[in-house]
Amino acid sequence: MRISLCNEVIRELPFERQCAFARQTGYDGLEIAPFTFGEEPHRLSAAQRAVARRSAADAGIAITGLHYLMLKPVGLSITSADAKQRARTIDVMRRLCDLAADLGARVLVHGSPGQRQLEPGQEAEGRKWGAECFAAVAGAAAKAGVVYCIEPLARPETFFVNTVEEAAALVRAIDSPAVRTMVDCCAAGRTEPASIPDLLAKWLPTGLVAHVHFNDPNRRGPGEGELAFAPILQALSAHNYQGVAAVEPFVYEPDGPACAARAIGYLRGVMEASQISFARKERRTQTLRHRRLPRGRVRA
């Protein structure tokens, strides 16, 4: 498992400084909110994409994913009754799959509650249109080699997809390995009937969960509320989770950089104190696989 920082937390910094800061404070990667790249991030030029990749590489950090996908450009919605608006939104979703691939990211997380609201009296239609939009991006995600995650969010932010079970039903209906769901600790802590460790124990073995967001139900960072992260980390380790967990607070006190530094220090401290290790487990796996190779052969 790698731990990333959602970059809007430190968006006041130039992107190359974001990369350096994340690396210096102990993160493995950055998860990019596309709106931090401008008003039309899906149209980012090849040269701009190359600069972002180079900035991350120079800092020794990975760009692991994209999230908060629909804030920019303005006027997007997957649940709108306006077919042209939905078509424009699907086009952006597909282009963001290409952007993610070009940046070296492998996961996109579709939260964006403001762009999936259900209009009173059209709730059933809105759910249908939203499901169609998610299905429409599956081919582009598969072609780009990325995984598009449907993020369950808490009410009243949105009333469309509030639990992992609801998201998993959509994933199964779409029936594409390029579409999955994820667990956001803030939303799950406010919405799910089960504890987050129990939620992970139920859904990780299905293969439908491809990403995790670390935050507290009070909307602050890990360690800044009552949610205990040791059992969550233990559940992820027990099920050999090998994906990315991104730190995504929404309240930054005293400021973004301080909140980001506190979060990673807390998580690394919990892992050390609880003797939770993902990296050592992966290294052991790689060593065992290497030992199983026939003598004289080299793994590519």
In a domain, 241, yes or no: yes
For residue range 192-227, what is the model confidence (pLDDT) as tens digits?
999 999 999 999 999 999 999 999 999 999 999 999
Q: Nearest-CA neighbor of 130 among 169, 98, 72, 176? A: 169
In a domain, 297, yes or no: no
pLDDT at site 47: 98
292 falls in which pLDDT band (50, 70, 90)? very low
Q: Kindly state the average pLDDT of the residues 91-112.
A: 98
In a domain, 112, yes or no: yes
State the average pLDDT for the chain: 93
Are the CB atoms for 146 and 177 separated by under 8 Å?
no
In a domain, 296, yes or no: no
108 falls in which pLDDT band (50, 70, 90)? very high
SS3 298: coil
For residue range 120-130, what is the model confidence (pLDDT) as tens digits?
999 999 999 99
Q: Which residue has the tokens 């239609």?
A: 125
Lowest mean pLDDT among 22-26, 70-74, 110-114, 276-280: 276-280
Range of the structural domain that residue 207 is part of: 2-291
In a domain, 299, yes or no: no
pTM (2 d.p.): 0.92
- Give the total number of structural domains in the chain: 1
Alpha carbons 199 and 111: distance in angstroms, whole number? 19
Buried b (16+ CB within 10 A) or exposed e, 153-182: bbeebbbbbbbbbbbbbbbeebebebbbbb
Residue 181 maps to which CATH number? 3.20.20.150
In a domain, 158, yes or no: yes
Are the CB atoms for 107 and 145 separated by under 8 Å?
no
Are the CB atoms for 13 and 254 separated by under 8 Å?
no
In a domain, 60, yes or no: yes
